[in-house]
Amino acid sequence: MLNLYSAQIESISLHRVGNKSKNESAFLSAEPFSLNDEMSGLLKEYFFKPFREKEENYYKFSHEVDLEFNEICNSVSEIFDNPSDNHRLSKKITTHLFEQSNHPHIKSGEVYVVHFSDMVIDNQKTDAVGIFKSELKHDFLQFEENEHNLEILIRQGININKLDKGCIVFNTSREEGYKVLSVDSNRYDAKYWLENFLGVAPLTDENFYTKNYLKFCQNFAKDVVLPAEDKQQEVMFMNRAVNHFAKNDNFEESSFLNEVMENPELIPEFKHYKVEKGPKYSIEDVSNFDIANKAVSDARKKIKNVINLDTNIQIKMDFINPESAEKFVEKGWDEERQMYYYLVYFNKEQKS
């Protein structure tokens, strides 16, 4: 669980990187940026907003040979060990980013390297290092009074409501490559930011497995349950799956299948589907793990629980009370109309 509200900016360095393939250069500031309270508040909102809105997908630093060869991991470790050296190391980080900026699609932009205190992650207070980049410039209007008229001036700047790229490295799990959060609003160059610059890989923790297993179940429901049965059963399968995760602290696959799979004939289909599709979600060899409650809540919000009919009618199922959909909704076939129907039982209409 992440809490950014108490975080404070201890130091911040500001630089700029260009695109090497376009013969643009890098500009490294001689001194750290001097903050006042107003600027600190604006920048924290600019840096943190996308992380509050985005589900928590954690990464860790990695390297194909050994973690000690990951340049960003080494620089961040030095900042944690000696925070007063943040500015020197921010130049090193920015130079490394500049060296990766050699594809024509990569945009120039400002780079912020920030040392934070009072971050809270997993109920533990710690410090963190943030690396952020602003790329896209937007036109805005500025107004200026002269002696008789109000003039309009066109200026360019960044939108502080939308961070282009950023990562936060928390000073925890150092030996494993830290816990890293990353955002990237511009998907066309994701490899440049995550792989070439940061050198991170997904952190396979309980959040990762919970999220990926539920995504796998969602695709199983669409690819297998829906063709074998119908839309109602596809929705109900995911309903039961999410509720199984919500009421348990630990996941055990055989228990999950016995409770969730109402049609036992689909259990072999599930196991075969896992062999075939499991590697895509990194769960092919996973059958036991701790369940992350936040990942379950995030998944519940994203899973569609609506049956759309070709008669422009929608039936919305309740994910909190799945027994209602099973007890009070019946599907049938009308011979006279040659159409399917849903029969819905109720005592009274609820006021909205």
Between 72 and 297, the higher pLDDT residue: 72
With CA atoms as reference, report the closest residue to 343 among 221, 225, 238, 232. 232
Asked if 116 and 259 sit in the same domain, the reply is no
Altogether, the residues listed in the chain come to a count of 352
Q: Is residue 299 part of a domain?
A: yes
Percent of the chain with pLDDT over 70: 96
318 confidence band (pLDDT: 50, 70, 90): low
Asked if 177 and 54 sit in the same domain, the reply is yes
319 confidence band (pLDDT: 50, 70, 90): low
320 confidence band (pLDDT: 50, 70, 90): low
Asked if 219 and 154 sit in the same domain, the reply is no
pLDDT at 335: 87
Q: Which residues contact 240 (CB under 8 A, 6 or more apart)?
A: 259, 260, 262, 322
Question: In this predicted structure, which of 66-75, 226-235, 302-311 has the lowest mean pLDDT?
Answer: 302-311
Contact status, residue 12 vs residue 33, Cβ threshold 8 Å = yes
Considering its fold, how many domains does the chain have in total? 2
CA distance 221 to 307: 14
- Out of 143, 178, 203, a domain closes at 203
Q: Is residue 198 part of a domain?
A: yes
Domain residues for the domain of 328 are: 207-344
Q: Is residue 288 part of a domain?
A: yes
Asked if 59 and 187 sit in the same domain, the reply is yes
The whole-number average pLDDT for the span 153-167 is 89
How far are the Cα atoms of 212, 224, 306, 322, 329 from residue 316, in angstroms, in the given order?
25, 21, 4, 11, 11
The one-letter code for the residue type at 49 is: K
The whole-number average pLDDT for the span 28-49 is 93
Q: Is residue 351 part of a domain?
A: no
> What's the predicted TM-score (pTM) here?
0.78
306 confidence band (pLDDT: 50, 70, 90): confident
Q: Is residue 127 part of a domain?
A: yes
CB neighbours of residue 126 within 10 Å: 16
Q: Is residue 349 part of a domain?
A: no
